[in-house]
Amino acid sequence: MRALSLLGLVGGLAAYMASGLASAGETPAGPGWPSRIVSLNLCADELVLRLADRAQVAAVTTLAGDPRGSTVATEATGVPVTRGLAEEIVALKPDLVIAGAFTTRTTVGLLKRIGFPPLELGVPADFDGVRAQIRQVAAAVGHPERGEAMVAELDATLSQIVPASRSLRVMVLRPNAFTVSPGSLGDAIIRAAGLVNVAAEIGRDRTGSVPLEAAALADADLVVLDAGEAGTPSFADALLHHPILERIRAQGRTVPIPNRLWTCPGPQVAEVAARLAAAARERAPMSAPMKAP
């Protein structure tokens, strides 16, 4: 009985979605282009808001408008938001849903069951993956030329990077002492800047967090800390103000780069590589004598 009623519910949802799809065709957005895009993931929000017309976007996530984590907080102003719940998504009658491969799995599962699979974005581990994802989203929202322009912008920034005179060792520390794991996009960004990721040398737990003493003893030439003062306390952030890191800060070894620039694939990741390289060039001439005796 329960299975039957569940089936009925799913069937009803499918019919509802289909009616949404039918009405979507009537809006004058362009032939075959989606006109009611719903994004279920912050990284999808960033690409959708940059690549699609504002009128095409039906909703983004609640995270998109928070300037602490989002690079498109300005673009997200006034765009409706959802928390990624299935009922919210269905009510919006979307004709394209873009989700992340690891978030809002229940909603994604339901959309698949009712025959409306969302476009699922993976987590790229290198710049080729970033380029491919930009092109994928640009094609899906009906603006492939904007995708090509964004890829060109990314490549232009990357090609202008001048590495430091020698490859310095860099350590990224985020709240809760999370670092950049080898083999991730962050690692590729570090390599693009001509630097070496110290996190590969020290033990991390399976979530990518490092013990503070191992991070300190790794003796990186550069330590990347998000300098953005949250203004609202947490132990996760307070850890980045531990006296031992303040000493390293006082030695001028820290580089402030906001965490939000690292989070998602987009043109901003080239910007991170450029900033890292600039910090390394500033540091390279005088770095040798600063090592502990």
Partner 1 sequence: MTAPTPLVTRTTPETGSRGLIAGVGLLVATLTVASIAVGYAAIDLPAALGDWLAGRATLPALVLMELRLPRALLGGLVGFSLGLTGAVMQGYLRNPLADPGILGISSAAALGAVVVFYGGLAGSLSLALPLGGIAGAALAALGINGLAARGTGTLGLILAGIGLSSLAGALTALALNLAPNPYAALEIVFWLMGSLADRSMDHVRLCLPLMALGWILMLSTARALDALALGEDTAASLGFDLVSVRIRIVTGAALAVGSGVAVSGAIGFVGLVVPHLVRPLVGARPGASLWPSGLLGAALVLGADLVVRLLPTRPELKLGVVTALVGAPFLIALLFRREQGR
Verify binding: residue 129, partner 1, rule CB under 8 A: no
Token pair listed for 20: 């949404």
CA atoms 182, 183, 184, 190: torsion sign = positive
Binding residue (CB under 8 A) for partner 1 from 242, 258, 259, 261: 242
Output the smallest distance, CB 200 to partner 1, in A: 15
> Does residue 293 interact with partner 1 by CB under 8 A?
yes
Which residue of 86, 202, 261, 278 would you call a contact of partner 1, by CB under 8 A?
202
Of 261, 194, 202, the closest CA to residue 226 belongs to 261
Residue 180 per-residue DSSP state: P
176 binds partner 1 (CB under 8 A): yes
- Segment near partner 1 (CB under 8 A); pick from 12-20, 46-54, 100-108, 172-180: 172-180
| 4: Cβ contacts below 8 Å, ≥ 6 apart | none
In the region spanning residues 204 to 223, those forming contacts with partner 1, defined by CB under 8 A, are 204-207, 209, 211-214, 216-217, 219
Rounded-to-integer distance, Cα 285 and Cα 266, Å:
32
Is residue 232 within the footprint of partner 1 (CB under 8 A)?
A: yes
Position 237 contacts partner 1 (CB under 8 A): yes
Q: Select from 234, 252, 256, 285 the one that contacts partner 1 (CB under 8 A).
A: 234
- The verdict on 5 binding partner 1 (CB under 8 A) reads no
Smallest gap from Cβ 245 to partner 1, in A, equals 9
Give whichever of 152 and 236 is closer to partner 1, judged by the CB atom.
236
* Site size toward partner 1, by CB under 8 A: 34
Please enumerate in sequence order all residues whose Cβ is within 8 A of that of 59, keeping only pairs 6 or more positions apart, or say none. Answer: 38, 39, 79, 80, 81, 82, 88, 89, 92, 94
Tell me: does residue 228 bind partner 1 (CB under 8 A): no
- Evaluate the CA torsion angle 50, 54, 55, 60 in order and state its sign: positive
Question: Does residue 73 touch partner 1 according to CB under 8 A?
Answer: no
Give the nearer residue to partner 1 in terms of CB position, either 126 or 219.
219
Nearer to partner 1, 235 or 286 (CB): 235
Collapse the DSSP code of 129 into the 3-class scheme (helix H, G, I; strand E, B; otherwise coil) and give the result. helix
- Going edge to edge, which strands form the sheet with 96-100? 81-82, 57-61, 37-39, 96-100, 119-121
Residues shown for the chain: 293
Judged by DSSP in three states, 100 sits in strand
Chain residues binding partner 1 by CB under 8 A are 68-69, 175-177, 202-207, 209, 211-214, 216-217, 219, 230-237, 239, 242-244, 247, 292-293
